[in-house]
Copies of this chain bind each other. A is one copy, B any other.
Amino acid sequence: MTVETAKKRIIESGLKFTHQRMVVYNALQVSADHPTAESVYEKVKEANPSISLGTIYKTLENFVRAGILKKFTDDVGVMRFDPMLETHSHLYFTDTQEIKDYKDPGLVLLLKKYFEENQIDNFEVEELSLVIKGKTK
């Protein structure tokens, strides 16, 4: 990930290019799975100590709107950001509290087929993902 690709990506998505957006964008690339606003803030401050938490929130929100990120809320009610753009499911480890991505194209196909054959009354399915709770084996 070079500066140029980051810049290109931000501008392509219709956002004005700023130093802060670029730093946040880069921090996301090296983040662990599903960072919180706070953890992005910590990471970003290394490169830009004067950035404010409010800017992080706003930037992440803009990235979500621009389709660069997805946002969801974890079990304790904290926002998490997900750099992955394809629809996918999550594994919740009840023992370690971790959240991991789970991608399974076969499963998605199976589910889509299921909902084509079994319509839900008065509801049009747009997006499907699974919450899989369990523990390390």
A128–B114 Cα distance when bound, in Å, is 16
Q: Which residues of B sit under 8 angstroms from A73, Cβ to Cβ?
A: 73-77
A106 at the interface (CB under 8 A from B): yes
Chain A interface extent, by class? 35 or more
Q: How many copies does the complex hold?
A: 2
Chain B interface: which of A11-19, A22-30, A48-56, A129-137?
Answer: A129-137
Q: Which residues of B sit under 8 angstroms from A137, Cβ to Cβ?
A: 122-124
Q: Which residues of B sit under 8 angstroms from A123, Cβ to Cβ?
A: 91, 93, 132, 134-137
A135 partner, pick from B74, B75, B111, B126, beta carbons under 8 A: B126
Q: Say whether A129 contacts B126, CB under 8 Å.
A: no
Q: Say whether B132 contacts A128, CB under 8 Å.
A: yes
